[in-house]
Amino acid sequence: MSTSRRTFLQRAAAVGAAALAGHSFLPASLKASARAAGGPLVIASGNGLAAVAKAMEIIQQGSDALDGVIAGVNINENDPNDVSVGYGGLPNEDGVVELDSAVMHGPNHMAGAVASLRNIKNPSKVARMVMERTDHVLLVGEGALRFARAHGFKEEDLLTDRSREAWLKWKENMSKEDAWLPAHGDSDSAKDIGDLFEPYMKYTGTIHCSAIDKQGNISCVTTTSGLAWKISGRVGDSPIIGAGLYCDNEVGAAGSTGRGEANLISCNSVMIVEWMRAGKSPEEACLTACKRVVEKNRQRRLQDDQGRPAFNVSFYALNKKGEHASASIWDQKQYAVHDGTSARLLPGAYLYKK
Ligand code: GLY
C-alpha cells in the first residue's frame, strides 16, 4: 500500500473517530473563520488565484455571488496563456476550439449552460444568458452560437499561435503512415508538447469557481475548452449540471476539473452537495467523490498496472458555513481560496501519490 494511501486511510479513520468523539478533524485552513457565518467566500481550482481575487472584489461591493464568479473566470477565459479555457484553449482534432461552460445560481436554483460553442471567448457569459433569457438549460453547437450572436456576443478566432502550433505537433506526430510530416529535426516534437503543457495522459484543464456572497447566497461556474484533440462535438462534464458543477443555496456548492468522461458517468458534483447535506465536511465529500470515480473506473485501458485510474479528476466544495476543500485522485493539487482577507493557494487532499 502506498504511503499516501495509508495516510489517507489513517486520516479517514481519524475523521470517523473525531466525529464519534464530537471533535472537529478539520485543520484551521478548512474551518470557517470568525467572520459572519459562511461568507463572503470564493474558491476555485488551482488556476484560479486571480479569479478568486476578482470574484471577491465584486462580491465585497455587494454584488451577487454569480456576478463575482463569472467575472473571476472571465480572466482565465480571456487569457491566451491558459490553454485549458476560452481564448487560446487547446483545440479539437480538427484544430478548432470548442468551449463548454455552465453556471448555477443558488437563490433561485436555476442553471444555464453551453457546449461545443465556437468563436465566443466567454462561454460562461453565454451560459448565464441561457439561464436568464431562455426557457432552456443547455444549448449546444450551432444553436448555442446563433443564440450568442443574437445577444450581441462578438465572434473571434479563439486559436492562438501557441495552441495552433501545439495542435500541429500533435497532428504531425500522430502516425508515420499519414501525409502530415513533422518539421525537419522535429521528430521528437511530441516531447516538446509535453514540455509545454505538462500532459497527464491527455490534456485537460478547466476552471471551476464557487462563492458565497455577503447575503449568504451561493453560486458557481465551470468553464473549459475541454479535452485537447477531442473528437469534434465531444462534451465533457463541465456544462452538465450535477456533474461539472452543482449548488444548493441551503447546503453549498461543488465542481470538478480533470477527465470529464470519468465524472460524467457518476455525476459527482450533485453527489458532493448531497453528501454535505447529509453531514459530510467538504473534504470528506470530495474524497468520497474521488473514491467513487476509482470504484467506477472498470476499463483496463484506463487503469495503471495496479488498477488505479490512469487519469486525474479533482473536486472542489464549499458549504453554507464557509468550510471548503478540494480533493484529487492523484497527488496533492492546490486550490485557490479568498475568504475576504487574501487570495491564496491551499493544498487539497488526495488518494494516491504519483
Ligand atoms: N473536465 C473538463 C472536461 O473533461 O472537459
Establish whether residue 257 lines the binding site of ligand 1, counting it when its CB lies within 6 angstroms of any ligand atom. Answer: yes
Establish whether residue 249 lines the binding site of ligand 1, counting it when its CB lies within 6 angstroms of any ligand atom. Answer: no
- Residue 15 domain flag: no
11-15, 32-36, 152-156, 202-206 — most confident range: 152-156
Catalytic residue among 160, 204, 206, 223: 206
Which pLDDT belongs to residue 205?
A: 74
- Residue 129 domain flag: yes
- Residue 11 domain flag: no
Measured in angstroms, how far is the CA atom of residue 237 from the centroid of ligand 1? 5
- Residue 8 domain flag: no
160 is catalytic: no
- Residue 14 domain flag: no
Which pLDDT belongs to residue 187?
A: 53
> What is the DSSP code string of 151-208?
TTPPP-----HHHHHHHHHHHHTS-SSSS--PPTT-TTHHHHHHHHH--BSB----EE
Site of grid cell 509535453:
194
* pLDDT tens track for 92-112: 999 999 999 999 999 999 999
- pTM of the entire predicted model: 0.86
Tell me how far CA of residue 193 lies from CA of 153, 172, 173, in angstroms: 32, 12, 11
- Residue 6 domain flag: no
- List the domain range (segments joined by +) for residue 215: 37-348
CATH number of the domain encompassing residue 344 = 3.60.20.30
- Residue 166 domain flag: yes
Total number of domains constituting the chain: 1
Asked if 56 contacts 340 with a C-beta cutoff of 8 angstroms, the reply is yes
Which residue's CA lies nearest to atom 5 of ligand 1?
A: 226
Measured in angstroms, how far is the CA atom of residue 276 from the centroid of ligand 1? 23
Q: In this structure, which amino acid lies at residue 229?
A: W
Alpha helices by DSSP H, 173-319: 189-197, 260-264, 268-277, 282-296
Establish whether residue 260 lines the binding site of ligand 1, counting it when its CB lies within 6 angstroms of any ligand atom. Answer: yes
Q: In the predicted model, what is the mean pLDDT of residues 8-36?
A: 37
Least confident of 27-31, 36-40, 228-232, 319-323: 27-31
- Residue 117 domain flag: yes
Measured in angstroms, how far is the CA atom of residue 244 from the centroid of ligand 1? 8
Q: In this structure, which amino acid lies at residue 87?
A: Y
Which residue's CA lies nearest to atom 4 of ligand 1?
A: 260
Res. 195: pLDDT tops 70: no
